Amino acid sequence: MRGQRPGRKLFGMRVVTDRGQPATVGQAAIRLLVAAVLTALCRLSLLTMVGSRSTGASSPCATGRPRRLL
């Protein structure tokens, strides 16, 4: 499969550099790391929203007000 996931293989998609060359191992590792971090943040935000609904607190996403994290 040459490193392609089944969906990309099915649709003929490839991950390439801005010059059209195949991505290097380092680039692929960074891409995977970023995807993992973004997935974790999305799951965390979903858990936070579900938890705030059960306690009656409003979500900062719903109010549109910026929230300071630290």
CB 45 within 8 A of CB 61: yes
For residues 21 and 61, the model is more confident at: 21
pLDDT band at 6 (very low <50, low <70, confident <90, very high): confident
CB 19 within 8 A of CB 35: no
The span from the first CA to the last CA of the chain, in angstroms, equals 45
- The H-assigned helical ranges of 12-59 are 25-55
Q: Is the pLDDT of residue 41 over 60?
A: yes
CA distance to 17, 36, 48, 54, 58, per residue, from 25 (Å): 12, 16, 34, 44, 43
CB 48 within 8 A of CB 23: no
